[in-house]
Structure 1
Amino acid sequence: MWCGLSARAYGADQPPATEWIDADTGHRVIRLSSEPGSLSLYFHQNAYTPDGKKLIITTPSGIAAVDLQTRAVELIVEGKVRPIIVGYRTNTIYYTREGAIFATDVYTRATRQIAKIPPGGSVSSVNADETLIAGTITYGPDGSTPGPTSAPANLSKAQRIDWRYNQHLPMELFTINTATGELKRFHRCNHWLNHVQFSPTDPDLLLFCHEGPWHKVDRTWTIRTDGTGLTMIHPRTMAMEIQGHEWFSADGKTVWYDLQTPRGQVFWVAGYELETGRRTWYSLQRDEWSVHFVSSPDGRLFAGDGGSEGMVARASNGKWIYLFRPELVEDRGPPDVDSAKLIRPGILRSERLVNMSRHDYALEPNVTFTPDMKWIVFRSNMLGPSHVFAVEIARAGS
C-alpha cells in the first residue's frame, strides 16, 4: 500500500496510483476510474443504483458503471452523452444525446428514447418514482424563440455569470412524462432558473434556484409540478448575505445549503425543514468552507470538498476533503420562549480525510457518500488527468 502523493503522479512509464494511505490524515484513498479524464457526477445528481452496488461515472468513452465491491469498471453507454441522474426506483441511467432523452438499464443495457428535448430546453432531474423528467426552457428577448445563453468567450467565470444574469431572459420550468413523452410547461418568469432537482421522496416537488451572483438573488425555491406551492426557502436579512448550492436530504424532509452572513466572512451549512419550517444552522471555520457540501444517507454526517485560496472564503489552508459531524448547541433558554420558531444553532466538527493540495480547484471535487456510508467519492486531478476516487471514512487500521 502506497503512502503519500508526491512519489506517484502520471509519468512516462507508470500509471497513477490505485490505492494509498493519505500521509496527513491516515485515511485510505482508492482510485475507482481507469480511464484518464473520468469524472463523478455533480454533487446533487444521484449516481448510485438503488441496490447500492453500482456507481455511475462519465469517461471520455461515455457513461460507465463502477462495481463498488470489485471496483470493475464497465462501459454502459458509449459516445458523447450527458448524464442526468440514476433512477431512485430502478437501475436506470437517464441521459441526453443529440437533443433527445434516453434511459438505459445499467445491468441489461436495454435502452429506449423517452422524448426530444424542446427547443431552448435543458433537462436536469428525474423524480422519485421515475415518471417525470424536469428541466428549463430559455427564450429570447421577444419571449418566443429560444434565446442565447452563452456569454462572450473572453469573459472570466464571474463575468460570464454576471452577463447571463443581466440578460433577464424569459424562462420556464417543464416536465416530460417518461411513459408518454407529454410535455407540460409551468412557472414562466424572467429569472435565470437553474439547479433544478426533484425531491428524492416526493415525486411532485421540485427544488430550483434563481441563478446569478449570489448577493443579487433570492436564490432557493421549491414548487409543485402543477405550478402551485411556490416557496422561497431562505429570505435574506443582511446586506451581502449569500446562500446556494442547495440540495435535498436523502429523506426529502430538509433542504440544505451553503450560507454566508455576510459573503466570505461567516460560514454556515443551513437547513430548512419543509414540513415544519424549522431552521438549523451549523457553523464552520473559514478553512472548512467547501465548494459543495452533502449530507449522508442517514442524515447524521456531512461532507465537503474544500476550496482554494482564490475562492469566496479566501481560505489559507482549505484544500481538503472533509467529514463533518454535526453538534447542536444545547437550548437553555427560558421555558416561556417558543424555541421552535428560532433558528437551532450548531457546530460542524471537522475531520480531514484527503489532502487536496495538489488538486486544481478549477475542477470542483463534488463529494458524495456511498450508500453504505463507508466511503466518500470525489473527482480530482491531483495525479494529473482527472479521475474518480473514494476515501474510506474509517481511519485505516481502526
Structure 2
Amino acid sequence: MKQFVFGLVFSSFLFFISNVNAQIGRRFPSEKKIVKDPVTGTMLTFLTSTPMGDSKIYQTHNQWTADGKWLVFRSDRVAREVMAVNEKTGEIVQITEGGYVGMLNVARNNMKLFFMRKAGDSISTEIKQDKSRKFKSSSMQIVEVDLAKLFADSETGKLKKASYYQRVCGTTNSEMGAGGDLALDGDENWAYFRVGKEYAAKYLPSGTKLEENFGPRRMGAGPSGIAAMNVHTGEVKYVVSVPFQIGHIQTNPWMPGEIIFCWETGGKSPQRTWTVMSDGTGLRPVYPESDYEWVTHEAVISKDEVAMAIMGHRKIQGFDSTGTAVSGANPGQETAWGPSGTREKPTGLAIVNLRTREMKIAGQTDSGSGLWHVSGSPDGRWVVGDDFSRSIYLIDRHTDEMKLLSTGHKATAADHPHPTMSPDGTKIEIQSAMLSEDNRSMNICIIPVPEEWLKRSY
C-alpha cells in the first residue's frame, strides 16, 4: 500500500514538473551569435544556435510580430509548442501551451498569433503535419494567443494559466475534415483553411471533371476546398471547391478577401498557382503555365504582386527532339514529371501583377538549380530566393543586379532555407544548418540587406 501511495505521489510530482516545464510564457536564455559568412563576408545573426529542432514559418506567411521585435518559429525545446525569439535580446519565450497543427499565423496589425488544434485533445497524437500534407478528419479549433499580455507577464515572471492568453475562436464541424493549412485574412477578421474531399465534393458544380494524381508522388487528385472562420464570432462560411488537391493557402495582407493557393502535387503541377476571392468569385490561375514550365513556391510580396519560381533545374538532354522525356536521363529527376524545368525556355524568379496579369522575370542564377523558394519586400525594391545548394541571392528590382548574400547553409540540412523578407525590407530570415554538427539540424538566422544597397536611390 505504501509503495502504491508513493508511486502515485511520485507520478503526480512528475506530471506537475512536466506541466511547469511546458508552461506558456516560459523563458529560455539567449543563444544569439553573430557569424561572418566565410564566402561572402555577410554578417549573419543566428537567433538560435543549438540543435533543438528549430524551423521557421513557411515563406508564404508573416514571421515577425506586429511590433517588429519578435520572430515566431517552431522548435522542439518543448514538444509540439511554438517559440518566439526577441531579435534584439535573443531571449526565447514559449508562446503556446497545448500543441498546434499545421501553419502558424502571426498577425501584422496586432500582437496576436493564430493556429489550429484538434478539438478535445490539447496535444494531438493522431494529427500531424507531414510532407504529404494529409490529415485525419476531426473537429478542429482555431486558437488565438494574446502575445502582448503574454510577453509582458513572461518578462515580470507573473504568469497566469494558459486560458488567460489563449482563446478558442471557434470549432469546425468534424464533417468538414479541416486541415492544417491556415491563412489569416488581410483584415484579420477571417481565417481560411482547407477542407476534405468528401465535404468539398458537396460544393463542386455538377458535372465538374475531377483531376487525377499527377507525377511520381501520386498526389494532386481532387476535389478539395477552402472554408473560412470569423476569428471573433466563430462563424464558419464556405469559399470554394476545386477539382484538384489544394495546398499552401495564403492571403494578400494588403487586400482583404484575396486568397492565393496552389494545386499541390509534391512537384510540377499542370497549373500550379490559383487565386479566388473570399466570396468564391474570381477563381482563376495567377499565372497560366505551359507543360514545359515548372512553376513552384508562389508567395504574395506586395499589394498587387505574387513572386514565384519558374524552375530551371533539369538538363536539356533529358528529352528527345519531340519533347518526350528520356528515361534515366536526369538522375534524381523522375521523367514522370514531363518535359518541364529545363532552360530551353525562360526560367527564374518571376513576378506576376495580380491586376494587369503581366509577368516579369526578375533574375536567374547562371547555372545549377536556379532560384527555388522566393520572397520580396512590400516596397518593391528587392526580391530574394534560395537554390538547391541552400545559397541565398538578393535581386535589386530597379537595376536587375543580383548578389550572392550567403552560402554554406548545407544541402544536407533537414529542410530548405525558405527565405522571407522582413516587412520593412531591410533583412531576410532563413533557417540554416550552418552551425549544426550533424549537418541537418537548423537554426533561425537573419541576413541583412547590404547597407550600400539600402542607401541606393533611384
Whether 1:59 and 2:75 are equivalent positions in the alignment is yes
| 2: CA distance, partners of 1:327 / 1:121 | 42
Deviations 1:160-214 (A, max 9, x none): xx3122xx23211111111111111232232111111111111111111112265
Per the TM alignment, residue 216 of structure 1 is displaced from its structure 2 partner at its CA by 4.2
Report if the CA contact (8 A) 1:39-1:379 is conserved.
Answer: yes
- Residue 142 of structure 2: which of 101, 114, 120 is its match? 101
Per the TM alignment, residue 364 of structure 1 is displaced from its structure 2 partner at its CA by 1.2
Report if the CA contact (8 A) 2:380-2:397 is conserved.
Answer: no
Structure 1 window deviating more from structure 2 (126-135 vs 108-117): it is 108-117
- Residue 223 of structure 2: which of 155, 158, 170 is its match? 170
Equivalent residue for 1:352? 404
- Residue 183 of structure 2: which of 92, 104, 125 is its match? 125
Whether 1:201 and 2:254 are equivalent positions in the alignment is yes
Per the TM alignment, residue 80 of structure 1 is displaced from its structure 2 partner at its CA by 2.9
Does the C-alpha gap of structure 1 residues 51 and 17 become closer, same or farther in structure 2, counting only changes over 3 Å?
closer
- Residue 111 of structure 2: which of 78, 81, 91 is its match? 91
Report if the CA contact (8 A) 1:38-1:388 is conserved.
Answer: yes
Equivalent residue for 1:8? none
- Residue 32 of structure 1: which of 47, 56, 79 is its match? 47
- Residue 269 of structure 1: which of 346, 349, 362 is its match? 349
Per the TM alignment, residue 112 of structure 1 is displaced from its structure 2 partner at its CA by 0.5
Equivalent residue for 2:324? none
Equivalent residue for 1:335? none
| 2: CA distance, partners of 1:70 / 1:372 | 20
- Residue 321 of structure 1: which of 369, 383, 392 is its match? 392
Structure 1 window deviating more from structure 2 (365-374 vs 299-308): it is 365-374
Report if the CA contact (8 A) 2:369-2:387 is conserved.
Answer: yes
Deviations 1:368-389 (A, max 9, x none): 1233433221112232222111
Which runs of structure 2 are paired with 1:122-161 in the superposition (5 Å)?
Answer: 122=179, 123-140=181-198, 143=201, 159=216
Report if the CA contact (8 A) 2:377-2:424 is conserved.
Answer: no
Report if the CA contact (8 A) 1:121-1:136 is conserved.
Answer: yes
Per the TM alignment, residue 357 of structure 1 is displaced from its structure 2 partner at its CA by 5.4
Structure 1: segments with no counterpart, 5+ residues: 1-14, 145-157, 309-318, 329-346
Aligned residues: 335
| 1: CA distance, partners of 2:110 / 2:224 | 31
* One-letter code aligned to 2:419: V
| 2: CA distance, partners of 1:102 / 1:142 | 23
Whether 1:390 and 2:446 are equivalent positions in the alignment is yes
Whether 1:114 and 2:169 are equivalent positions in the alignment is yes
Equivalent residue for 1:281? 361
Equivalent residue for 2:212? none
Report if the CA contact (8 A) 1:132-1:178 is conserved.
Answer: yes
| 2: CA distance, partners of 1:142 / 1:259 | 30
| 1: CA distance, partners of 2:353 / 2:200 | 39
Per the TM alignment, residue 351 of structure 1 is displaced from its structure 2 partner at its CA by 1.6
Structure 1 window deviating more from structure 2 (253-262 vs 202-211): it is 253-262
| 2: CA distance, partners of 1:142 / 1:70 | 46
Equivalent residue for 2:263? 210
* One-letter code aligned to 1:40: K
* One-letter code aligned to 1:86: V
Equivalent residue for 1:343? none
Structure with the bigger percentage of strand: 1
Equivalent residue for 1:332? none
Equivalent residue for 1:232? 285
| 1: CA distance, partners of 2:104 / 2:200 | 30
| 1: CA distance, partners of 2:381 / 2:245 | 33
Does the C-alpha gap of structure 1 residues 225 and 371 become closer, same or farther in structure 2, counting only changes over 3 Å?
closer
Equivalent residue for 1:244? 296
* One-letter code aligned to 2:84: A
Per the TM alignment, residue 88 of structure 1 is displaced from its structure 2 partner at its CA by 2.0
Supply the RMSD in Å over aligned alpha carbons: 2.7
Per the TM alignment, residue 278 of structure 1 is displaced from its structure 2 partner at its CA by 2.6
Percent identity at matched positions? 24
SS of the aligned residue for 2:218 comes to helix
Structure 1 window deviating more from structure 2 (87-96 vs 257-266): it is 257-266
Does the C-alpha gap of structure 1 residues 118 and 164 become closer, same or farther in structure 2, counting only changes over 3 Å?
farther
Structure number with higher relative contact order (C-alpha < 8 Å, ≥ 6 residues apart): 1
Structure with the bigger percentage of helix: 2
Report if the CA contact (8 A) 1:16-1:383 is conserved.
Answer: no
Does the C-alpha gap of structure 1 residues 33 and 79 become closer, same or farther in structure 2, counting only changes over 3 Å?
farther
**Runs of 4+ with deviation above 6 angstroms:** none
Report if the CA contact (8 A) 2:33-2:49 is conserved.
Answer: no
Whether 1:293 and 2:374 are equivalent positions in the alignment is yes
| 2: CA distance, partners of 1:301 / 1:257 | 14
Does the C-alpha gap of structure 1 residues 379 and 118 become closer, same or farther in structure 2, counting only changes over 3 Å?
farther
Task: State the TM-score, normalizing by the size of structure 1.
Answer: 0.77
Structure 2: segments with no counterpart, 5+ residues: 1-29, 119-139, 151-164, 203-214, 313-339
| 2: CA distance, partners of 1:213 / 1:264 | 18
Report if the CA contact (8 A) 2:428-2:449 is conserved.
Answer: yes
Please tell me whether Structure 1 or Structure 2 has the larger radius of gyration of its CA atoms: 2
Deviations 1:30-51 (A, max 9, x none): 2112552111110111111222
SS of the aligned residue for 2:225 comes to strand
* One-letter code aligned to 2:178: G
Does the C-alpha gap of structure 1 residues 76 and 215 become closer, same or farther in structure 2, counting only changes over 3 Å?
closer
* One-letter code aligned to 1:27: T
Report if the CA contact (8 A) 1:94-1:103 is conserved.
Answer: yes
Report if the CA contact (8 A) 1:288-1:322 is conserved.
Answer: no
